[in-house]
Amino acid sequence: RIWGCAEGAQACPAGTVVKQTELARVLTEISDKGAPGFYRGWVAKKLTDGLQAAGGIMTVQDLAEYQATLRVQLRGEFRGMEVVTMPPPSAGGALVLQMLGFVDLADESGEFSEGFGSARSVHALGHAMRLAFSDRAEVFGDPDQVQVPVQELLSFEYIKNRWQKSYSPVSATRAVEPGVRFAAVGSLPSASKQAVPPAGLPEGDHTTHFSIIDREG
Q: What residues are labeled active site?
A: 207
Q: Where are the beta strands (DSSP E) in the chain?
A: 74-78, 81-85, 146-147, 183-184
Tell me how far apart the alpha carbons of residues 188 and 185 are, in angstroms, rounded to a whole number.
6
Work out the burial of residue 29: count CB atoms within 10 Å of its CB; fewer than 13 is exposed, 13-18 middle, 19 or more buried.
Answer: middle
Torsions phi, psi of 7, nearest 5?
A: -60, 150
Strand partners, 76: 83
What one-character DSSP code corresponds to residue 45?
Answer: H
